Amino acid sequence: MTNLSGMDIVGVLGLLVSIAGFAIAIWQIWKTKAAAEAARDSAAEAVDGVRKMYAVSTLQDIAGRSRNLLNLIKSKNLAAAAAAAFELRDAVSKYQPSSKESASETTLWTKVREEVDSLHERLESIAVANRWTADEREALIHRTSRLHTQLAANASRLVSTVSTVP
């Protein structure tokens, strides 16, 4: 039988403490990694939420501009309507749909841009001539009304995708 000296016992105990400490360190690293991943995921969700809120705000602004344009056309305010069409076109051109949107939504947004461009160009042409017929005005009212309905629907759809935090 081997006699262990006091130093041998201290050495063995030191080894056991070191192994336990190493195990605790590994466990702490694993917990830290999990916490960092959770924080990263939470930050990504927050950024996504802010982007959606910004998109909602922007789309609602654009829909408001289209409503304003419609009202100006209805009130026969040609110069103001042309200016409002320019502002609407500018706002629409600055809006960037989310990269997560489907191809059909992207195509739809492209059509909206084309319609806004066309409305603006038509109103500018009419404003330069400083006259429009009742038929032209009626056609512009209908086109602008359809555009406004589409923009309001897009804004409403986007609002429904924004989740609220309880």
DSSP annotation of 158: H
- Look up tokens 């262990």; give the residue: 4
State the pLDDT at residue 63: 92
Nearest to 94 by CA among 126, 50, 59: 59
Is residue 34 included in any domain, yes or no? no
Q: What is the pLDDT of residue 55?
A: 84
How many other C-beta atoms can be found within 10 angstroms of the C-beta atom of residue 4? 11
Q: With a cut of 50, which residues of the chain have pLDDT below it? A: 165-166
Q: Is residue 1 part of a domain?
A: no
Asked whether residue 9 is assigned to any structural domain, the reply reads: no
Residue 148 in any domain: the answer is: yes
Quick one: angle between helices 78-94 and 6-74, nearest 10? Answer: 160
Domain tally for the chain?
1
Answer whether residue 95 is part of any domain.
yes
Rounded-to-integer distance, Cα 74 and Cα 125, Å: 17
User: What is the CATH classification number for the domain harbouring 51?
Assistant: 1.20.120
| Residue 77, helix vs strand vs coil | coil
Q: pTM here?
A: 0.70
pLDDT of residue 1: 52
pLDDT at 163: 55
Which residue range(s) make up the domain with 142? 47-161
Strand residues in 22-139 grouped as ranges (E): none
Is 127 part of a structural domain of the chain? yes
Q: Is residue 22 part of a domain?
A: no
Residue 51 structure tokens = 């982007």
Q: State the DSSP H helix or E strand holding residue 6, giving kind and residue range, or none if neither.
A: helix 6-74
Say if 10 falls within a structural domain.
no
Residue 102: the pLDDT is: 67
Of 109, 119, 163, the C-alpha closest to 144 is 119
pLDDT of residue 165: 46
pLDDT of residue 166: 44
Each residue's pLDDT tens digit, 21-33: 989 999 999 999 9
